[in-house]
Each structure stands twice: as C-alpha cells, then as structure tokens.
Amino acid sequence: MLRAPTRRTRLATSLALVIILGVSGAIVVLRAQPDPLLLLDAAAREFDRGRVDDAEVLLDRRARRVHPTALDLILRARISQAREHFDESLRVLCCVPDSDPFAGRARLLAGEIELDRDHARAAERLLARAVALDPHQVAARRDLAYIYALQRRRRDCDAQFRALVELGPLDEKRAFIWCQNLCAIWDPREAAARLERFVKNDPGDRQSRLALVEAYLMMSQVSAAEEAIGPLDVEDDNARALRARIALDRGDESAAESLVQAGASDHAGLNVIRARLALIRQDPTGASHFFEAVLKQDPHDRAALYGLGQCLRRLNEPRAITYLEQVAREDRLKRMILESKGPLGQDPRLYFKLGQACEELGQTREALTWYGLAIARDPLDTQAQSARARLKPSGGTGRF
C-alpha cells in the first residue's frame, strides 16, 4: 500500500535536494525541471539502448523548452530512420544548414540513408557535400570509395583512399579494397546485383548504368548490355565506347569503326577500341599509338600495358619489355590478393609481401600501408620496419 509521505520523509527529501543542488551548482533535478542539455543526452542514451519511443518523448520535452539544434535534428532523423521512415528522416536532416558545425554529420547520415535505399547518385551527392564541409569525415570517404569502386571509377576511388591514409592508418579490409581498385579486380556478378538496384531506383543514374553495362559485357550478356545502355545519350563518349565494344562482340567491325570515329580523340575507352580495330587490320604501329594514349591517362590500364607491350614486341622494339614487365608485376599483386582470400589470409608474411609488390609498382602509399599492417601484426618484423623507414620520407606526412 502506498502511503503519504510523513513530515520526516518530506524533510529528508528536502535535505537531499539541497545536497544535490549544492553539489551540482545550478543544475535542477532532471525529474522536476529537466535541464535541456541533459534531456538531449538522456534521449541519445535511450536511443542507443534501443528505446526509440522513450528517446522521442525526451526530445519532445526538450523541444518545448528550447529551439531544436542540429544535434536534436540529427537524433530525430535517426529515430525516423530506425522506424524506416526514411523520407521523414531526410526531410529533418535538410533542416540543418550548411553553416552549422554539425552539417557535415547531417549530410553523412543522409548519404548513408540514401545508400541503404540504393539511391547511389543521391548518396554520392550528400557524401561529397559531407566531405566538403568536413574533410575529416572518414565514414563519408569510405562510403564514397565504395560507390566509386562499385562503379569502376578507379581514379575517384583512389583519391578517396589517398585522403583516408592522411587521416589515419587503413585496416586490412580497406587496404585490400584499395589494392583491388589498383589492380582492377572487380566481380561483375556481385557488382551487377547492386548496380541493378541502383538503376532500378534511379534510371537517370548514368555512372551506375555504365558500370552495369560493363558488368553484363564481362559476363558475356550482350543482349542485357544492349538493353541497359539504351537510355544513355548517344553523344556520351563513355556510352559510345561501350556500344563499340558491343558491336565488336557481335562481330560488327564497321559499326564499331563508325562509333569510334564520331568520338573524342583523347577518350581512353574509345582509344582501346581503336587499338583493337587497328590490330584486326594488322596495324601494330597504329594500335601502339592508341595504347600509348590510353596509358597517358591511366598508367595502370592492364589492357593497354599488355597491348602496347605485344605491339612493340611485334615491331621488334626493345622497350616492349618495359611494359610487359609492368604487366607481370601488376599480375603478381593481383594473384596475391586473389589467392589470399582476403584479410584473413593464412600466410603470416602476406602483408609484408603485399607491401613489396606495391613498392615494386611504385605505389609508395599503398606499400607503406601494408608495411604498417605487417608491423601491427608482428611488431618484431624488422624487414617491414626497415622498409617503412626507407619509404617514409618520400611518402608524405600521412599517418601510416
């Protein structure tokens, strides 16, 4: 049975309140007159415990006392996200102005929501804005690197990883992704499944559509590639290069020739097709010029490296060996990554060997990353320590 408090109980309570107020200064007891900042903290704690409804109640109490800040809006957006009310979550996040110190965090959360919904183009825009507002946003850069890797935008992906290593050392998983991007390791079947969702949810997503066509061609699904490329602008040189590849796959050399003639002379994808057509005409000299043009834009394009090496060999030019040796080095790194089965590879010297392979390719930052991971795995690895010390002066100021 509940009893009314006696005078003694009321006195004890009063004394307790005096003590609390004396210790905490001007803070008022939460249950009686909640401090707005304490309410926000309590709401965040309730949310972290999975008590979404309780978190919202506390936020509502706070909103009756103070105007919502960016942190209020972000937490409210997370509550809506937890309830799968994604449109509402994005609407709330839009209320955080770019001028707010927490705007970068708001754009990051919005980008993550859009990526989870398979809206790649919207996600990229928001994540790029998050990085522009706060270049130290590691999570935003990781998500951007993922999108770029999926869309085979190797240069953009590499730029994000180079920014990430300036912010702190990469873990094994992301170091592998970085090297997979370098070696153009890309599983078309795995990529196609996600890219199909991107294109379905946003038919105007050009980058995802181009990558999807590429995946279909790699899987020899020429009809699917033709259907997927249909909506792309006929004047788009990236699409034109893919259409020329489709024509070659169908044995229509004249159609491929017409397509590349209409495109830009400095487009890498079109120059690869031009080189292939030159080889069909038994013109290794012409093909070598096109392959060299490709390598000026992407020194790691394996098809161009191998093609140029073979053309120069046919022409009895000594420099052929330079390109073929480069192909051999890149293939060695690629085999090591594929055979390792990922970061949990059984070879205890794997990270050091990957560092060596990257160093042989002149990829200093990647090599430093692997040597750092080798040392983290075995602090007594003197070879990795010596290699890192040798490269560190020329590797910039990043924390490897």
Mean pLDDT for the stretch of residues 307-322:
96
CA distances from 63 to 48, 51, 69, 103 (A): 20, 19, 9, 20
**In 3D, which of 168, 171, 128, 156 has the Cα closest to residue 344?**
171
- Output the domain CATH number for residue 162: 1.25.40.10
Mean pLDDT for the stretch of residues 139-157:
97
CA gap 189, 375 in Å, rounded: 35
pLDDT of residue 341: 74
Lowest mean pLDDT among 24-28, 271-275, 356-360: 24-28
The radius of gyration of the chain's CA atoms, rounded to the nearest angstrom, is 29
DSSP for residue 392: G
Domain that holds residue 141: 39-182
Mean pLDDT for the stretch of residues 264-288:
96
Can you count the helices (H) and strands (E) in the chain? 22, 0
**What's the structural domain count of the chain?**
1
Q: What number of CA atoms fall less than 13 Å from residue 150's CA on the CB side?
A: 24
Secondary structure (DSSP) of 346-365? S-TTHHHHHHHHHHHTT-HH
CB distance 62 to 55 below 8 Å: no
CB distance 346 to 354 below 8 Å: no
pLDDT of residue 234: 86
Identity at 290, one-letter amino acid code: F
CA gap 100, 51 in Å, rounded: 28
Identity at 276, one-letter amino acid code: R
Lowest mean pLDDT among 59-68, 90-99, 226-235, 344-353: 344-353
pLDDT of residue 399: 44
Query: Is residue 48 a part of any domain in this protein?
Result: yes
Q: Dihedral angle at the C-alpha atoms of 245, 216, 238, 149, nearest 10 degrees?
A: -130
Find how far residue 248's CA is from the centre of its chain: 32
Query: Is residue 168 a part of any domain in this protein?
Result: yes
CA gap 167, 171 in Å, rounded: 12
Query: Is residue 163 a part of any domain in this protein?
Result: yes
Secondary structure (DSSP) of 145-156? HHHHHHTT-HHH
CA gap 257, 224 in Å, rounded: 22
Query: Is residue 132 a part of any domain in this protein?
Result: yes
**In 3D, which of 59, 19, 10 has the Cα closest to residue 39?**
59
Query: Is residue 54 a part of any domain in this protein?
Result: yes
**In 3D, which of 134, 141, 130 has the Cα closest to residue 168?**
141
Query: Is residue 26 a part of any domain in this protein?
Result: no
CA gap 61, 377 in Å, rounded: 50
Query: Is residue 136 a part of any domain in this protein?
Result: yes
pLDDT in tens, 171-191: 999 999 999 999 999 999 999
Q: Please, what is the average pLDDT of the chain? A: 89
**What's the whole-model pTM score?**
0.85
| pLDDT beyond 50 at 7 | no
Query: Is residue 272 a part of any domain in this protein?
Result: no
Residue 29's pLDDT band, with cuts at 50, 70 and 90, is very low
Q: Dihedral angle at the C-alpha atoms of 338, 342, 346, 352, nearest 10 degrees?
A: 80
Residue 348's pLDDT band, with cuts at 50, 70 and 90, is confident
Backbone angles phi, psi at 39, to 5 degrees: -65, -40
